[in-house]
Amino acid sequence: MNIIQTAIPDVVIIEPKVFGDSRGYFSETYKADIFLSKVCNTTFVQDNESKSKYGVLRGLHYQLPPFAQSKLVRVIIGKVLDVAVDIRKGSPTFGKYVAIELSDENKRQLFVPRGFAHGFVVLSDEAIFQYKVDNTYSPQSESSIRFDSLDIDWMVAAKDLLLSDKDKQAPAFEEAKYFDYAEKLY
């Protein structure tokens, strides 16, 4: 696995080695010892998957402590723009974000640590999106930030975006609940 640092040190791109031949390919997408030593000391407890069509924007979502979650995300089919926003008040990168393209072609993964809001928009006709999380879902701890309250180029015209009612009604970044940068999240 190739580990690539982003502009925000805790958000990491992971490129698995892909072995291809005339039959197709094989790829090792997760290996605990490498992940724990080079990315983050956490244990994933659940895998999730979603299928969405072009223009679907899911996010920006997160859970507050004690149910904060890290996510390791990837695309099985299609292409998305994946975004992680630092919402750790006091962090040198507070309010900044990383946006990368994840696709079935580039096979990249993104690690989104606790203390970050996460979202993605589908850029292909459809996408199957998979993610590992290190804490279970807790409805009373979930929170979100409105997608258009930060200067993010989602690469899809506003008229073509498809959002849930919950995401349309999310608070702006300035009104969101934040993490405390000094708080121990792991």
Q: Look at residue 186 and tell me whether its pLDDT is greater than 90.
A: no
Domain ranges of the chain: 42-180
Q: How many CB atoms lie under 10 A from the CB of residue 10?
A: 22
d(CA 62, CA 113): 10
Query: Could you list the active site residues?
Result: 61, 131
Q: Torsions phi, psi of 103, nearest 5?
A: -150, 165
Segment 11-66, tens digit of pLDDT: 999 999 999 999 999 999 999 999 999 999 999 999 999 999 999 999 999 999 99
Q: Torsions phi, psi of 108, nearest 5?
A: -70, 155
Total-model pTM: 0.95
Q: What's the CATH fold of domain 42-180?
A: Jelly Rolls (2.60.120)
